[in-house]
Amino acid sequence: MVEASRIFQTTLFPSFSILHKSCTLTQSPSFLRKKYSTTIHCSSSVSTSDSATEKAASVTPKVPWGCEIDSLQNAEALQRWLSDSGLPPQKMAIQKVEVGERGLVALKNIRKGEKLLFVPPSLVITADSEWSCPEAGEVLKQYSVPDWPLLATYLISEASLQQSSRWSNYISALPRQPYSLLYWTRAELDRFLEASQIRERAIERITNVIGTYDDLRLRIFSKYPDLFPEEVFNMETFKWSFGILFSRLVRLPSMDGRVALVPWADMLNHSCEVETFLDYDKSSKGVVFTTDRQYEPGEQVFISYGKKSNGELLLSYGFVPREGTNPSDSVELSLSLKKSDKCYKEKLEALRKHGLSASQCFPLRITGWPVELMAYSFLAVSPPSMSRQFEEMAAAASNATTIRKDIRYPEIEEQALQFILDSCEMSISKYTKFLQASGSMDLDVTSPKQLNRRLFLKQLAVDLCNSERRILFRAQSVLRRRLRDIRSGELRALRIFDGFRNLFK
């Protein structure tokens, strides 16, 4: 489906001037949104920017570099260049594969626990890499541009120089249009992802990319037009470069957490069944990964892109694993305070104090949900008589605090579970409505190429919705059973009480 290396964060980029909204790390094991100290404030709205971007795309040529996603010729040229540049002989080669258009396939028997790759630091792209146009690099460093936008600009700069750049063989092997939700129009996001919370994440990501480009253009590019001409450094090329970063950038723990692009290694595809990932090996002085299983000649070799949900994999990499095959899959459930609540203002104030809002998303997994979700639900249903506990509930609902999380209020547990169930069933109805309508969507048959693209997007959306609805159905079943147990227990207690009362009569 897609080639990429493991990404350890899904926040768009570190803070840059007034930019960058904290995205979440939904890839964390808890799948809870991780709060960051800096936020992004983008100058352009998605609705206006989307139409402007689509209009610009109709007159701006697509990026002239890169190749078709399944091109082996360019990948083989990359392999030869890497070997000539110091990449040691490999036990793998690039081939067309069933999972992903291109992938690394074993040439020899590979043992479990064997180290592979050994890409030297000289063949790794980082924020410290030498620019072919050193003046452009110096300008960005003078403005203290952080790694993500710096690397995005670096990629465009090197790509525009074509054969003059030492990275020309690598860039020509990169996809001309990466699999990324950055390439979905607003209408496509609204149409195909209307039921999923990933739609909001995608809109946020697109907004942040547009805002980052606008900030770079206004504060830097416009002041140095000779170094950053608009015909090269434009929204279309930044969409491409950020698409490459989202799908291929890795964080290497043993190199002080440095983010990097690792040519050759980023041809490895993802499998939900493996846990091995890329890192720098100090003994061999190269980027490697250690296999967690054996491979025979002809088998595709996989790594893990991280413990990500199907929605996150679609967001960054443009593919959705088969339903039920991803043990890290989850779906975000949106919970909201009711404005009719007599204590709405007090509850909202308590939530805001801990970085939360009146509407909050929490992850559901097949195995359950986080204690923060339960704490939020307790707060949402708590009566005025429990106002002294509002602060404790709000604190426990925030993943930013270390306060005791597993709070319990037996007197309102039934109402809290019913509150979660109502939200769950409301979400299920949205997925069901979309899936029922997906079979009769009016697709434009006058343009076969566009039709094929939209059919592909539609299939991705259907796959995502089926996997997320499956988790919601599981949560619905668990909630109904727990409520039934609570209510039957209460009924038994009431009958016992009535029995004692009749006895004493």
Residues marked as binding for substrate? 248, 266, 280, 305, 317
Please provide the distance, in angstroms rounded to a whole number, between the alpha carbons at the two ends of the chain. Answer: 74
Known binding-site residues for S-adenosyl-L-methionine equal: 248, 269-270
Under 8 Å between Cβ of 197 and 332: yes
In DSSP notation, 26-39 reads TTSTT-PPPP-S--
Residue 252 host element (H or E): strand 250-252
Strand partners, 477: none
Per-residue tokens: 125: 């792209």
Known binding-site residues equal: 248, 266, 269-270, 280, 305, 317
Nearest-CA neighbor of 149 among 36, 18, 268, 319? 18
With vertex at residue 310, the alpha carbon angle to CA 54 and CA 68, rounded to the nearest 5 degrees, is 50
SS3 state at 106: strand
Going by the DSSP 8-state scheme, the letter that residue 181 receives in this structure is G
Pinpoint the alpha helices (H) of 166-256.
168-173, 186-192, 198-219, 235-248
Residue 401, judged by CB atoms within 10 A of its CB (0-12, 13-18, 19+), counts as middle
Count Cβ neighbours within 10 Å for each residue of 1-24 and write b for 16 or more, e otherwise: bbbbbbbbbbbbbbbbbebbbbbb
What is d(CA 265, CA 290) in angstroms, rounded to the nearest whole number?
A: 13
What is d(CA 58, CA 480) in angstroms, rounded to the nearest whole number?
A: 51
Per-residue tokens: 69: 């996603």
Sequence-distant (6+) residues with CB within 8 A of 312 are: 10, 26, 27, 198
CA dihedral of residues 405, 411, 415, 418 (deg, nearest 10): 70
Sign of CA dihedral 387, 391, 394, 397: negative
